[in-house]
Amino acid sequence: MYKIISGKEVSEAVKLRVADEVKQLKANSIEPCLAVILVGDDPASRVYVNNKKKACEFCGIRSLEYVLPAETTQDELVALVEKLNEDKTVNGILCQLPLPKHLDEKTILNLIRPEKDVDAFHPENVGHIMIGDFNFLPCTPAGIMEMLRYEKIDLDGKNCVVIGRSNIVGKPMAMLMLKENATVTICHSRTKNLKEIVAGADVIVAAVGRPNFVTADMVKEGAVIIDVGINRMDDGKLCGDVDFDACKEKASYITPVPGGVGPMTIATLMQNTITATKIQAK
């Protein structure tokens, strides 16, 4: 019998913990502040930013929002990031991705000071993750680890397969699992014998961005399945990278879409903002 890992439930627990930390900081005259930059009018990005704003309100974190037109120049965006870098009342800076195509994403992400980089995309923070000595973790992989801890799923010695090799999810996910003494395989579009590799996994993390990519014949009995995918179908419904209905009968634990990993990403962002505040307050 499978158990659904509820991202809503786990994220609420994380946000309540963060709210307590915020109260303690405010008692010492320290007010955490997160600045979010949104360039353009991408509907999905607008939804994410709204959800981050709501989470800040819930946790008691001061939230600043900078909405810039799609035609914003590189120089204008650089100037805003530099201004926020210098603002001592701002603890975390997040630039919502994707940016319009004429803007250089890499330059902007690298410009955010590492101690304010609550997305953990700066090369310095990425390097710390590689050696297992980090202050921040990318929000989605960190959220997944929180879910596994919440359900007391031990990775020690387990065979884990991550499908997807992005810098945002796949690569850091593998590093975090390695840190917990798992044996990790990263699969991607060029992987041969993908079905056989995934079928040997105790834990599957699907982050490939293709609806219903993981099918029941790729899952062994009792596997833990974490679905990172968010895909909108022609009928408007959301679905993940995992064929949920078919795979759930073979899983011991499985995350739904929506209501699984998604809420954890925002909850972890709140935690990262508190971590940043504490570092800057020393």
In this structure, the answer to whether residues 167 and 86 fall within a common structural domain is no
Would you say residue 11 lies in a domain? Answer: no
Looking at the fold, whether 144 and 107 belong to one and the same domain comes out as no
Rounded Cα gap, residues 63 and 32, in angstroms? 9
pTM to 2 decimal places: 0.94
Same domain, 156 and 241: yes
CA distance 120 to 172: 10
In a domain? residue 231 = yes
3-class secondary structure for the chain? CCEECCHHHHHHHHHHHHHHHHHHHHHCCCCCEEEEEEECCCHHHHHHHHHHHHHHHHHCCEEEEEEECCCCCHHHHHHHHHHHHHCCCCCEEEECCCCCCCCCHHHHHHHCCHHHECCCCCHHHHHHHHCCCCCCCCHHHHHHHHHHHHCCCCCCCCEEEEECCCCCCHHHHHHHHHHCCCEEEEECCCCCCHHHHHHCCCEEEECCCCCCCECHHHCCCCEEEEECCCEECCCCCEECCECHHHHCCCEEEECCCCCCHHHHHHHHHHHHHHHHHHHHHC
Q: Give the tens place of pLDDT for each residue, 96-155.
A: 999 999 999 999 999 999 999 999 999 999 999 999 999 989 999 999 999 999 999 999
> 279 near 24, Cβ under 8 Å?
no
Same domain for 144 and 111, yes or no, is no
Residues 109 and 149 in one domain: no
Per the CB < 8 A criterion, the answer to whether 169 and 125 are in contact is no
Averaged pLDDT score across all residues of the chain: 96
CATH number of residue 226's parent domain: 3.40.50.720
CATH number for position 64: 3.40.50.10860
The pLDDT tens digits for 30-73 are 999 999 999 999 888 999 999 999 999 999 999 999 999 999 99
pLDDT tens digit sequence for 66-88: 999 999 999 999 999 999 999 99
Structural domain ending residue among the three candidates 115, 149, 172:
115
Residue 128 located in a structural domain: no
C-beta of residue 107 within 8 angstroms of C-beta of residue 122: no
Is 251 contained in some domain?
yes
**Among residues 58, 80, 115, which one ends one of the domains?**
115
pLDDT score, position 216:
97
Residue 280 falls inside a structural domain = no
Do 185 and 107 belong to one domain? no
Per-residue pLDDT, 219: 98
Q: Judge if 156 and 228 occupy the same domain.
A: yes
Q: Residue 255's domain spans which residues?
A: 139-262
The number of folded domains in the chain is 2
Q: Is there a single domain that holds both residue 149 and residue 256? A: yes
**Whether residue 100 has a cis bond before it, omega within 30° of 0:** no
The verdict on 175 and 226 lying in the same domain is yes
- pLDDT reading at 282 higher than 90: no
Strand partners, 231: 239
* 148, 237: one domain: yes
Please check whether residue 23 lies inside any domain of the structure: no
Label the pairing between strands 238-239 and 251-254: unpaired
Q: Identify whether residues 164 and 201 lie together within a single domain.
A: yes
Residue 152 lies in a domain: yes
Q: What tens digit of pLDDT does each residue of 233-249 get?
A: 888 888 999 999 999 99
Beta bridge partners of 185: 161
Mark whether 36 and 72 lie in a shared domain: yes
Annotated active-site positions, please? 52, 96, 119
